[in-house]
Amino acid sequence: MKPIYDRFLSSRINYIEPSPIRDAVAKIAAKSKTTKVISFAAGEPDPDVIPRELYGELAKEVFIKEKGSVNYSPADGVSELKIEIARFMAEYEGVKTGPDNIVVTLGGSQAIDILGRLILDPGDIVIVENPSYVNTILVWKHYGVRIIGVPMDDNGMVTEKLEDVVKRLRSEGKKLKLIYTIPTGQNPSGVTMSMDRRKHLLEIASRYDLLVAEDTAYNHLVYEPVDVKPLRSMDTEDRVIYIGSFSKIFGTGLRIGWLEAHPEIIGRVRVAKGPMDMCPPVPSQYIVLNLLRNKLYRPIREKAVAEYKSKRDIMIAAIEKHLTGLKHTRPVAGMFILLWLPEDIDGRAFSDQLLEKYNVAVIPAAAFYTDETGRNVIRLNFSMSEKDLIEEGIRRISMLLKESKTPTP
C-alpha cells in the first residue's frame, strides 16, 4: 500500500531506520508465546536478582512521604539525587564531580540522544568501536551522521587503527568531533579496553581535538579483578562526556541514567532537555535516591555479579565443550559473549533456524557491525539466561552447526 503520510514527513525520515534486530526480536517474542525457548537474546539484568520487594517498600514510602513524587522535578533531576550521583561517581568511578555537572536522564538512551541533538550535524562523522551498540548507532543516525567503526581485539578498540582513521578523515577534511566508546564489558562484544588503550585513546582525543562519549553502562558488572579506570577519571582536559546508567544494576525499567561532563556542556544539555520531557520519571528518581542513600548499590551489585559470573562460567565451559575451535570473546565484564560461526555461515539465517528448529534464541551480531565483517557472528547473553538451560542451549547450537556442515540439496 502506498504510504499516504509521506508528504508530511521531515527529510530526517531518511535517517530514521528500523532496528536491524527488530525482526529477530519479533520472531523470538512470537515463538516464546507458544514454545519454551532457551533465550540468549536478552540485553538486560535478571529480574530475579533484583530485590523487587524492597523496591515495593521503597516506592510505597516515597509516595507517602514525598509530595513531590507526583509532581515535576527539575528537568535535570531531583537535586538530592544529583548529589548522590556525584558521590557515587567519586566512590565507584574515581571521578571528582558535583551536582552542577550532572543531568539525570531517562536511562542512558536518552542521554545518548540528547548528546546527538547538541553535537551532531548531518554529514558529521562519529567514530565507534566495530562492533558497537546498535541503538546508539540508530539514534545518532537520526541526526544524519555517518558512523565509522574502528576494529576491536581482546584489549578493546585498536587505538593504533583509531589514529589512522582520525588522520585520514582529517586529511580528507571530514567533520569529526566525537568518539563513542563502551570501554568496559562492551555491548555486544563483552570486551574490556586495557588501560594502555584507554590512555592512548585520550591522547588521540587531545591531539586531534575530539570529544569522547564514554558509555559506562557495564562498568560495575565486573567478574574478575581488572586494572582499569573510567576514561573520565583520567580526563585532564574535560574532553570526556560520561554517560551513566543504573539500568544494569537496579533494572532497566526504572529508566534512570545521567550525563556528567564539564558544566558548559551540561548547561547546554539542561537548556535543551527542559522542553523535551519536562523531567525524568519522579517515583523512579526517588527509588534510586533511596537505594543510593541506604547504601544498597553495593549489595545489589554484588548479588548480580555473583550470579552473572556463575552463568558466564557455565556458558564459556559449554562453548569450549560443545563448540570446540570456534572463536569467542571471554568477557571479564558485562552481559555478552560474541561467538564467531564458521565463515561460510550467515549469522542471521543461522539464528532464524536455531529458533525455528531448536527453540534457542540468539541475536545475529551483524546488526552491531559498521561493515560486513560480522556476518557470521552471533551475540549470546548470559545475564538473563536460565542457569540450568545454558549448556543445553549451547549444545543445540552445536547440533545445528553440525547439520549446517552437511550440504543440503
- Which segment (154-162, 165-173, 269-277, 357-365) binds its own copies by CB under 8 A? 269-277
Q: Considering the rule CB under 8 A, would residue 34 count as an interface residue with its own copies?
A: no
Cell numbers of 185, please?
564489558
Q: What are the CA-CA distances from residue 22 to residues 36, 70, 83, 146, 163 (Å)?
A: 21, 34, 38, 21, 34
Interatomic CA distance for residues 176 and 179, integer angstroms: 9
What is the arrangement of strands in the sheet containing 336-340, beginning at the earlier edge strand? 336-340, 377-381, 363-364
- For the bound state, the minimum distance from the C-beta of residue 134 to its own copies, rounded and expressed in Å, comes to 8
Interatomic CA distance for residues 2 and 195, integer angstroms: 53
Contacting residue, 14, 16, 317, 373, with its own copies by CB under 8 A:
16
Binding to its own copies (CB under 8 A): which residues in 309-338?
none
- For the bound state, the minimum distance from the C-beta of residue 280 to its own copies, rounded and expressed in Å, comes to 7
- For the bound state, the minimum distance from the C-beta of residue 169 to its own copies, rounded and expressed in Å, comes to 16
Interatomic CA distance for residues 311 and 319, integer angstroms: 12
Cell numbers of 318, please?
559449554
Binding to its own copies (CB under 8 A): which residues in 194-223?
209, 211
Contacting residue, 33, 34, 35, 64, with its own copies by CB under 8 A:
64
Q: Considering the rule CB under 8 A, would residue 12 count as an interface residue with its own copies?
A: yes
Contacting residue, 143, 180, 368, 382, with its own copies by CB under 8 A:
143
Q: Considering the rule CB under 8 A, would residue 8 count as an interface residue with its own copies?
A: yes
Number of neighbours of residue 217 by Cβ within 10 angstroms:
26
Q: Considering the rule CB under 8 A, would residue 52 count as an interface residue with its own copies?
A: yes
Between 97 and 329, CB nearer to its own copies? 97
The amino acid sitting at 314 is I
- For the bound state, the minimum distance from the C-beta of residue 18 to its own copies, rounded and expressed in Å, comes to 5
| Of 109, 122, 88, nearest in space to 44 by CA | 109
Binding to its own copies (CB under 8 A): which residues in 248-267?
250-255, 262, 264-265
Q: What are the CA-CA distances from residue 234 to residues 20, 240, 258 (Å)?
A: 35, 9, 19
- Which segment (88-96, 197-205, 283-291, 397-405) binds its own copies by CB under 8 A? 283-291
- Which segment (18-26, 31-39, 313-321, 366-374) binds its own copies by CB under 8 A? 18-26
Burial of 170 (0-12, 13-18, 19+ CB in 10 A): middle
Q: Considering the rule CB under 8 A, would residue 173 count as an interface residue with its own copies?
A: no
Contacting residue, 281, 375, 392, 401, with its own copies by CB under 8 A:
281
Where are the alpha helices (H) located in 189-326, listed in sequence order? Answer: 195-207, 247-250, 263-277, 282-293, 297-322
Contact at 8 Å (CB) between 20 and 374?
no
- For the bound state, the minimum distance from the C-beta of residue 246 to its own copies, rounded and expressed in Å, comes to 11
The amino acid sitting at 401 is L
Contact at 8 Å (CB) between 15 and 143?
yes
Interatomic CA distance for residues 126 and 330, integer angstroms: 27
Contacting residue, 45, 131, 185, 393, with its own copies by CB under 8 A:
45
Q: Considering the rule CB under 8 A, would residue 27 count as an interface residue with its own copies?
A: no
Q: Considering the rule CB under 8 A, would residue 385 count as an interface residue with its own copies?
A: no
Contact at 8 Å (CB) between 386 and 146?
no
Between 278 and 306, CB nearer to its own copies? 278
Contacting residue, 28, 37, 69, 393, with its own copies by CB under 8 A:
69
Q: How many residues bind its own copies (CB under 8 A)?
A: 84
Q: Which residues, 6 or more positions from 135, have their beta carbon under 8 angstroms from its beta carbon?
A: 19, 109, 112
Q: Distance between alpha carbon 64 and the CA centroid of its chain, in Å?
A: 34
Contacting residue, 24, 38, 62, 318, with its own copies by CB under 8 A:
62
Between 194 and 383, CB nearer to its own copies? 383
Binding to its own copies (CB under 8 A): which residues in 73-132?
73, 106-107, 109-110, 113, 117-121, 124
- For the bound state, the minimum distance from the C-beta of residue 80 to its own copies, rounded and expressed in Å, comes to 15
| Of 316, 301, 308, nearest in space to 333 by CA | 308
H or E stretch at 338: strand 336-340
Q: Considering the rule CB under 8 A, would residue 56 count as an interface residue with its own copies?
A: yes
- Which segment (148-156, 185-193, 212-220, 278-286) binds its own copies by CB under 8 A? 278-286
Cell numbers of 49, please?
536478582
- For the bound state, the minimum distance from the C-beta of residue 256 to its own copies, rounded and expressed in Å, comes to 9
- For the bound state, the minimum distance from the C-beta of residue 284 to its own copies, rounded and expressed in Å, comes to 5
